[in-house]
Amino acid sequence: MGITHLPDTSVYSQPIKKIPLKTVTDPWKTIGDRNLCISIFCDTELLQGLEMKKSNNFWNACNSILKDSLPVVDFTMEAAKIYVKIQANCVKRGRTRPVFDLLTHLNIFAH
C-alpha cells in the first residue's frame, strides 16, 4: 500500500505517554507502521518537548519505542519556498500559524 498517513506530534508521541490515548493508538495499530511516516519537524517538536521535560524516563521511552520506528521526511528547498510565501502572507494579515504545524504539513505537500 505504501505511505498513507502522516501523524502529527500529538499522535506520534502517544506511545511514550504515561497513559496513551486508546482512541489514537488503536487506529495507529490498524493503519500499521508501514503506512506511516513523520515529518522532520514532528521529530524536532518531540525532541524539544523531551528536552523541556528533562525526564530520563521519557527520553528512555522515546529511544526504545519511537527512535527509527517510522521513516522521516526531510525538509526540502521546495517546501521552504512554499512555507515562506504562506507565512509571509499570514504575517502581513496578522494571522500567523504555529511554525512547527505549518512546516510539518507543507513538507509533505512538497513531496
Give the model confidence (pLDDT) of 61-97 as tens digits. Answer: 999 999 999 999 888 888 888 888 988 998 999 987 7
Q: How far apart are the first and last CA of the chain?
A: 17
Q: Where are the domains of the chain?
A: 9-109
CB 103 within 8 A of CB 39: yes
Helix axes 40-53, 99-109, angle to 10 degrees: 150
Give the model confidence (pLDDT) of 4-60 as tens digits. Answer: 888 889 999 999 999 999 999 999 999 999 999 998 888 999 999 999 999 999 999
CB 41 within 8 A of CB 103: yes
Q: By three-state DSSP, how is residue 38 classified? A: strand
CB 57 within 8 A of CB 16: no
pTM of the model: 0.76
